[in-house]
């Protein structure tokens, strides 16, 4: 069964990555492509790496343009998806790469996004316990934020197995494409090259409540999260260093066994052999999350490090994987675990 898919926000980083993956998806025909300030411009100019779409021209984003497709990917700024989604019929599969429908808690949404809460949709992280069941047949999917993807995949096996206390400390580095294509002064090349810097420190980053939501659901109790994001001088990738206090008696071998068990059948999440560590270069352009763990007995903490490509597993790959589950396609269709190296 071939489906026809439209992409709104096709001039942006997330929309471009969705299109790169859809070009390799055997069951998807690419339909309307829309943008905002770049409407009227050709994809050959806006996304020069997508040669097969070079002649296509962006239309303005409107319901008329997006209606009539089987699937609509929304890769729009926060707050822009809800209205579009409301107008699209219940028979259209709408996959939102933005944040609008990720959080279930209205107060959290209002506190971190400062706008009215639009609601919550089934969450596009199939690997979480119950994740695939929630997505199967769903016509609405909220694709996770890139940091919550890296962190939730790193820590869910520990909480599912009861290995750690309900507190997690996370420091993560992201490539600059995480901030989107729109020009921002602190992302000028001269500010970013050759430097790493923190931002959103002290529990204020909007991905914090999303991590708490995911980990608490797995743990069955509220998990507190201290999250510090940093900006790294690379275009793509997230390296998340996550730790939590181990429950009494938990050993390194227990942790390894629990992760191996939890990830045994996962096609896109891999616990590396002992002695190998995740690196962003190994997941560049791949829909893979690579993990490694260590137990620090002196500190009494389990440390789990994960690497993803923020635009692939962290956005567009997660979106396509979730679409596959929702529509009943093989989950890995159109998705590669092969990265680009060096």
Ligand X SMILES: NC(=O)C1=CN([C@@H]2O[C@H](COP(=O)(O)OP(=O)(O)OC[C@H]3O[C@@H](n4cnc5c(N)ncnc54)[C@H](OP(=O)(O)O)[C@@H]3O)[C@@H](O)[C@H]2O)C=CC1
Chain positions contacting ligand X2W, by CB under 6 A? 98-99, 145-146, 174, 178-179, 229, 231
What is the per-residue DSSP string for 73-113? EE---TTSHHHHHHHS-TTSEEEE-SSTTT-S-HHHHHHHH
| Min dist. Cβ of residue 220 to ligand X (A) | 27
By the rule CB under 6 A, 35 interacts with ligand X: yes
Choices 8-16, 154-162, 195-203, 262-270 (CB under 6 A): range interacting with ligand X: 8-16
d(CA 234, CA 140): 32
- Going by their DSSP bridges, the two strands 28-35 and 59-60 should be labelled as parallel
By CB under 6 A, tell whether 38 contacts ligand X.
Answer: yes
**Between 144 and 157, whose beta carbon lies closer to ligand X?**
144
Q: Which of 8, 95, 135, 146 is catalytic?
A: 146
Provide the phi-psi class of 105: left if phi over 0, else alpha when psi is between -120 and 50, else beta. Answer: beta
Give the nearest distance from C-beta 17 to ligand X2W in angstroms.
Answer: 12
**Contact with ligand X (CB under 6 A): which of 30, 66, 76, 160?**
76
Q: How far is CA 15 from the centre of its chain?
A: 13
Residue with smaller CB distance to ligand X2W, 9 or 229 = 229
- Which residue's C-beta sits nearest to ligand X? 12
Nearer to ligand X2W, 124 or 145 (CB): 145
* Residue 306 contacts residue 269 (beta carbons within 8 Å): no
Location of structure tokens 């050709």: 42
The residue from 3, 23, 27, 36 that contacts ligand X (CB under 6 A) is: 36
Cα–Cα distance, 112 to 200 (Å, whole number): 12
Please identify, using beta-carbon distances, which residue of 118 and 255 lies nearer to ligand X2W: 118
Respond yes or no: is residue 242 known to be catalytic: no
Closest CA relative to residue 306, chosen from 191, 171, 199, 130: 171
**C-beta of 13 vs 109, nearer to ligand X:** 13
164-174 vs 224-231, strand pairing mode: parallel
How many Cα atoms occupy the beta-carbon half-sphere of 81 within 13 Å? Answer: 28
Residue 285 interacts with ligand X (CB under 6 A): yes or no:
no
Query: Could you list the residues that contact ligand X (CB under 6 A)?
Result: 9, 11-15, 35-38, 61, 75-78, 80, 97-99, 145-146, 177-178, 180-182, 310-311, 314-315
Residues with a known catalytic role: 146
């Amino acid at each position: 069964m071939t489906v026809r898919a439209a992409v709104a926000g096709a001039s942006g980083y997330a929309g471009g990555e969705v299109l790169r993956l859809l070009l390799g998806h055997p069951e998807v025909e690419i339909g309307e492509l829309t943008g905002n300030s770049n409407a009227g411009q050709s994809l050959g100019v806006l996304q020069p790496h997508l040669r097969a779409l070079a002649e296509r021209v962006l239309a303005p984003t409107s319901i008329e343009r997006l209606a009539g497709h089987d699937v609509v990917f929304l890769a729009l700024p926060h707050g822009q998806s809800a209205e579009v989604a409301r107008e699209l019929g219940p028979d259209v599969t709408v996959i939102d790469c933005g944040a609008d429908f990720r959080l279930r808690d209205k107060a959290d949404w209002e506190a971190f996004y400062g706008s009215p809460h639009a609601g919550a949709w089934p969450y596009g992280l199939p690997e979480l316990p119950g994740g695939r069941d929630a997505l199967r047949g769903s016509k609405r999917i909220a694709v996770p934020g890139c940091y919550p993807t890296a962190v939730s995949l790193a820590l869910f096996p520990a909480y599912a197995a009861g290995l750690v206390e309900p507190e997690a400390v996370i420091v993560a580095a992201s490539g600059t494409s995480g901030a989107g294509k729109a020009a921002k002064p602190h992302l000028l090349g001269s500010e970013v090259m050759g430097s790493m810097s923190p931002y959103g420190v002290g529990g204020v980053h909007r991905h914090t409540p999303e991590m708490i939501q995911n980990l608490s659901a797995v743990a069955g109790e509220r998990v507190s999260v201290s999250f510090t994001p940093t900006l790294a001088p690379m275009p793509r990738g997230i390296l998340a260093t996550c730790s939590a206090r181990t429950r009494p008696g938990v050993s390194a071998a227990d942790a390894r066994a629990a992760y191996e068990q939890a990830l045994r059948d996962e096609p896109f999440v891999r616990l590396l052999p002992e002695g190998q560590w995740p690196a962003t270069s190994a997941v560049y352009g791949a829909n893979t999350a690579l993990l490694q763990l260590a137990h620090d007995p002196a500190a009494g903490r389990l440390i789990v490090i994960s690497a993803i490509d923020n635009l692939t597993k962290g956005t567009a790959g997660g979106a396509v994987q979730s679409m596959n589950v929702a529509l009943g396609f093989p989950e890995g269709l159109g998705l590669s675990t092969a990265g680009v190296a060096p």
